[in-house]
Structure 1
Amino acid sequence: MLSRRDEISVRRVRSLLTVLELNSFTQAADVLGLTQPAISQHVTQLERQLGFALLVRDREGLRLSPAGSSLLPGLRRLVAGNEAIVDQLASLSLGTEQILRVASVASFAAMFIGPAFLALRPRFPSHVLDIVEIDSEVTFQLVRSNEIDFGISSVFVPSPGLLFEPLCQDGACVVLSTLHPLAARSELGDEDVLAEPFIRFPSGTTSGNWLAMMSERSGLQPKTVVEVRQLMTGCQLAQQNIGLTIVPEIAARSCPLPGLAVIPLRDGLPPRKLGVVTSEFHQASQFENAVLSQLREMTWQSQDVQALR
């Protein structure tokens, strides 16, 4: 068993992860600027330290052992955390006073967090904003572990030690090319949308969940032509008239591409509710409080959120 004096080397873990990613000790050595024997030694030393094999070789090449697979998320966090510290130290050495770490839905970051930060720059000229663009339960883990100061999420589930403050909500809309035959319509129904080539976002996202609801209530399945994970990619493909898709209103507003039409759904869907996730044990800085106050003001001005409270 490891003792506190047997701390895991970030360098060894980085070598292991690079070998796994490239499926090659030689290529990992080239990427990391080391020799192949050095990479092999790092992996061997790490395996000896932990007491079991991490990599196994089969017909398909290198892969993680069962023990290595169970440790993979933690090993990745170790390397990512080290890289984040190095980046923050570099920023602080250049005169940064504070780095505010935020996880947010990408569209909310573009529509609200960016403008809020810009408005506060005269008061906090030496502060830096660090945004991680995610919208999943990973946000809760990051808040709880103090890896971020606060999160903006649409998937909050009551959890011990976490607080949720609603900020705004938005509904579903269809985005499609202005060249699409349906672009002149004032509203669209489920049957209109599901009869067309569809650009699909993953299950578990707001767009994916809405699509599942539309399919269930109409009895129709989407004609998926492309699957994407990034909002901007989906909107750009719709702009090119490859297909249409369903996104939240704030997401559509954050991607005002020329040649892209935004049309409401005739039959509504449950709105997406966005809010701030914080830890009840976290002590907010003056800069963080100023950003949150600015966000509250901006979202209240954009829509009435009284019904959320």
Structure 2
Amino acid sequence: MLSMHKNAFDIRQLEAFSAVMSAGSITGAARLLGRSQPAVSRLIQDLEAELGYALLYRTSGRIQPTSRGLRFHAEVERHLASLVHIRERAEAIGNDEPATLTVAATPSLAAGLLPPALVALAPELLSRHLHVQALAAENVVQAVLARSADLGISSLPLEHPGLDIHWIAEAPCVVAMAANDPFASQDVVRLSDLGNGRIITLANPYRLRHRINEVFARAGVVPERMIDVNASLTALSLVRSGLGFAIIEPATAFGVPLDGIVLRKLDQHIPFLFGAISAAVVPQSPTVTALIETVRVQALDIPGCRLVEANAVDGLDNAVYGKSIAQKETPYE
């Protein structure tokens, strides 16, 4: 068993394991590290002996991670990234420069909203080393809570006592279609008109997809064919290939325009809710404070986007989660 009183891991062991996981072989890892194959094998064996369990299966000259190896790899990656950040921040301190900045954002917001916000920052505020992590919304929250990210930009829900929510914005989803589609001549497209086509939309049932499903149900529309994706940019690429209509959030749609695709309003309002978060009770650097504001300004450039007033935040439950069972069962008077 691993003892808490043992010495810290040899960083070379962790680097060797990370390289093996990246390369998929001892030979490839040795080339990545500039070490001999026997040296890398020995480092992995020593690490496994230190841990008390196997990290890799070795069969017929091939290797693959064990279930414990996969879980340990996630921890190793975070640790190695933290060491890189510490070195960068130490250099920044020595040079009296802005500290290294790490921003975690969902893929849609990282691609469609963050780039112009970073461009809008004053040059003296932007550090030499910048880390942008495109993560699932749940992982954005965890990165901010773990303080491995200075700032998070994510879709709602964002409820957690360890977070400070700086602002929340709402923007309507849009439908993306081929420029030569017959519906492209309309300014507003009826959801009911899309039911016979193939609908491309996001897969996560607990975020935006939940609201999209509710709107379809309320309109009495049952799509005949659907494609689920985990990123809006993928949806737009599928539309450009002629595979259907995409109902997606507007940050990617307007922030990363693709040739051959047009965006149209829907006759049904599907809100996309997102916000800026940081770890609670952690002082913000001037760079983070400025970036929170520039992202807010860029968000308001999205057509139809508005900020949610502070006193209205508690009233977002229906928009985020949908109506409760009690609400659905209560008849209208």
Q: Which TM-score tier does this pair reach, normalised by the shorter chain?
A: 0.7 to 0.9
Paired letter, 1:292: I
Aligned length: 307
Of residues 223, 236, 257, the one that matches 2:225 is 223
Q: Which runs of 5+ in 1 are unaligned?
A: none
Partner Cα separation in structure 1 for residue 223 and residue 13 of structure 2:
48
Specify whether residues 98 and 188 from structure 1 end up closer, same or farther in structure 2 by C-alpha distance, changes over 3 A only.
Answer: same
Q: Is the 8 A contact 2:108 2:252 kept in 1?
A: yes
Aligned position for 2:14: 13
Q: Which runs of 5+ in 2 are unaligned?
A: 314-333
Tell me whether 231-240 or 203-212 shows the greater mean CA deviation: 203-212
Aligned position for 2:198: 197
Q: Is the 8 A contact 1:137 1:155 kept in 2?
A: no
**Any idea what the Cα deviations from partners look like across 1:206-227, whole Å, max 9, x if unmatched?**
55444544555546245245x5
Q: Is the 8 A contact 2:171 2:306 kept in 1?
A: no
Paired letter, 2:30: A
Once the two structures are TM-superposed, the CA of residue 178 in structure 1 deviates from its matched residue by 0.3
Partner Cα separation in structure 1 for residue 210 and residue 168 of structure 2:
21
Q: Is the 8 A contact 2:232 2:252 kept in 1?
A: yes
Q: Is the 8 A contact 2:105 2:137 kept in 1?
A: no
Once the two structures are TM-superposed, the CA of residue 157 in structure 1 deviates from its matched residue by 3.6
Aligned position for 1:293: 293
Q: Is the 8 A contact 2:102 2:131 kept in 1?
A: yes
Specify whether residues 17 and 286 from structure 1 end up closer, same or farther in structure 2 by C-alpha distance, changes over 3 A only.
Answer: closer
Partner Cα separation in structure 1 for residue 213 and residue 58 of structure 2:
40
Paired letter, 1:285: S
Partner Cα separation in structure 2 for residue 203 and residue 222 of structure 1:
20
Q: Does 1:245 align with 2:241?
A: no
Give the percent of matched residue pairs that are identical in Structure 1 and Structure 2: 22
Partner Cα separation in structure 1 for residue 226 and residue 64 of structure 2:
32
Once the two structures are TM-superposed, the CA of residue 61 in structure 1 deviates from its matched residue by 4.8
TM-score between the two structures when normalised by the length of structure 1 = 0.81
Q: Is the 8 A contact 2:98 2:287 kept in 1?
A: no
TM-score between the two structures when normalised by the length of structure 2 = 0.76
Aligned position for 2:279: 279
1:255-274 equivalences under 5 Å are 255-269=256-270, 271-274=271-274
Q: Is the 8 A contact 1:165 1:275 kept in 2?
A: yes
Q: Is the 8 A contact 1:151 1:276 kept in 2?
A: yes
Tell me whether 164-173 or 188-197 shows the greater mean CA deviation: 188-197
Aligned position for 2:75: 74
Paired letter, 2:307: V
Specify whether residues 123 and 73 from structure 1 end up closer, same or farther in structure 2 by C-alpha distance, changes over 3 A only.
Answer: closer
Partner Cα separation in structure 1 for residue 131 and residue 71 of structure 2:
29
Q: Is the 8 A contact 1:177 1:241 kept in 2?
A: yes
Tell me whether 142-151 or 299-308 shows the greater mean CA deviation: 299-308
Paired letter, 2:275: G
Q: Does 1:156 align with 2:157?
A: yes
Q: Is the 8 A contact 2:167 2:308 kept in 1?
A: no
Partner Cα separation in structure 2 for residue 233 and residue 298 of structure 1:
23
Task: Give the SS at the match of 1:131.
Answer: strand
